[in-house]
Amino acid sequence: MRLDPYTPFEAEVVERIQESPTIFTLRLRFTDAEQHKRYSFAPGQFNMVYLYGVGEVAISIVSDPEDEHLYEHTIREVGRVTRGLAQVQQGQRVGIRGPFGRGWPLQQAEGHDVLIVTGGLGCAPVVSVINYIISRRERFGRLTIMQGVKHSDDLLWRERYKLWSQMPDTHVIIAADQDGQQWPWRVGPVIGMFDELDLKPDKTIAMMCGPEGMMHAAIKRLLEMDVAEEMLFMSMERNMQCAVGHCGHCQYGGKFICKDGPVFSFNEIKDIFGVAGF
C-alpha cells in the first residue's frame, strides 16, 4: 500500500536525444539516490512525467528494466506538456512519479514464440520488451517484430531494427505505405506483412501497440490464423491525469487503463474494443 501517489519526485535529464524532428528521448535519473535505488519497473509500465509549472503527461518507459543507471522516455511533441518537455535540455530537472500500470506478460511469454506488432511513429511501449527478450534470448522462442508506418520517413530507430534483424531466431518485417530513398523494407499496405508470417498458433503470444485500427486489423488476422484470444495482448492509451484509478479519464468500459492496463489481453476488452466512444 503506497501513500500519496500524487506527488512527483525530482529527476535530472542526463541525456537528451533528438530522434526525429518531433520525437525526442529523455534519459533520466532521480536526484534522490534512495529513490533511484527504490525505483524499478516492468516493460509496458509508464511514468507520469511532470514539466515544472505546466503539468503532467503519461509516457511509457522504453529502457531495459534491469538498467539500474537510467531510465528513458521517448516522447512525441503533440500536446501542451510534450511540446514544453521538448524544450528541456540536459542537466535540467523534471518531475517523475511511477511506475504505474500492468506491463507485458513476460512470464507467460517465456517458452513461446513472441510476435510484436506495432504501427505508427515507432512504438515506445514495446521497445523495452524487445530489448528484454533479446538480452534473455534463451528463455523465448522465435521473435518476430512487425512494424508498419505510413511513410518510410516515419520509422524511428532504423539502426535498432537493422540490429534486431541480425539477431538469432529473430525476424523483422517492416512495411511502409509509401517509401522514400534507400528503404530496405516492404512497401505496401501494412496488413500485407501478415502474408509473410509463418507462425505456430499454439506456441505464439502477440504483443501489440499503436493505432487501434491497426491493432483491430492485426487481431482479426491473428484470430484467423488460430492464435487464441487470451494470447493477444495490446497496450491501450487514453487520457490519464492521476494514473492511480481516481480521476476517471482513462476508463475503458469497466477497466481503468492506468491500473488495470495499459496492457490487456484481447479477451479482457473485446466487448468494447473498436466501439467508437469508449
The correct pick among 16, 93, 142, 158 for binding other proteins (CB under 8 A) is 93
Q: Which of 5, 188, 201, 274 binds other proteins (CB under 8 A)?
A: 5
Q: Are 142 and 114 in contact (CB under 8 A)?
A: yes
Q: Which of 183, 191, 244, 274 forms a contact with other proteins (CB under 8 A)?
A: 244
Q: DSSP assignment, residue 246?
A: -
Least distance in angstroms from the C-beta of 98 to other proteins: 12
Cell triple for residue 108? Answer: 507467460
Is the separation of the CB atoms in 259 and 100 below 8 Å? Answer: yes
Would you say 55 or 188 has its CB closer to other proteins? 55
Is 184 or 278 the residue whose CB approaches other proteins more closely?
278
Which one of 15-23, 86-94, 107-115, 158-166 is the stretch in contact with other proteins (CB under 8 A)? 86-94
Residue 177 Cβ, how far from other proteins at the closest point, in Å? 20
Cβ atoms of 210 and 120 within 8 Å: the answer is yes
84 touching other proteins, by CB under 8 A: no
Alpha-carbon gap, residue 224 to 143, rounded angstroms: 20
**Residue 256 makes contact with other proteins by CB under 8 A:** yes
Q: Largest alpha-carbon pair distance within the chain? A: 53
The gap from C-alpha 14 to its chain's centroid, in whole angstroms, comes to 22
Residue ranges in 167-226 that form contacts with other proteins under rule CB under 8 A: none
Task: Please give the size of the binding site for other proteins, defined by CB under 8 A.
Answer: 47
Using CB atoms within 10 A of its CB, is residue 244 exposed (0-12), middle (13-18) or buried (19+)?
A: middle
d(CA 119, CA 208): 9
**Smallest distance, Å, CB 80 to other proteins?**
10
Among 223, 249, 270, 274, which residue sits at the site for other proteins (rule: CB under 8 A)? 249
Of 180 and 213, CB closest to other proteins? 213
Choose among 73, 50, 76: nearest CA to 62.
73
SS3 106: helix
Options 15, 18, 67, 78; binder of other proteins; rule CB under 8 A: 78
CA proximity to 13, closest of 75, 58, 64, 77:
75
- For other proteins, the closer of residues 76 and 171 by Cβ is 76
The answer to whether residue 102 forms part of the interface with other proteins (CB under 8 A) is no
129: part of which helix (H) or strand (E)? helix 124-134
Which grid cell is 66?
Answer: 534491469
Q: Which residues bind other proteins (CB under 8 A)?
A: 1-10, 31, 52-56, 76, 78-79, 91-95, 237-239, 241-242, 244-249, 251, 253-256, 259, 271-272, 275-278
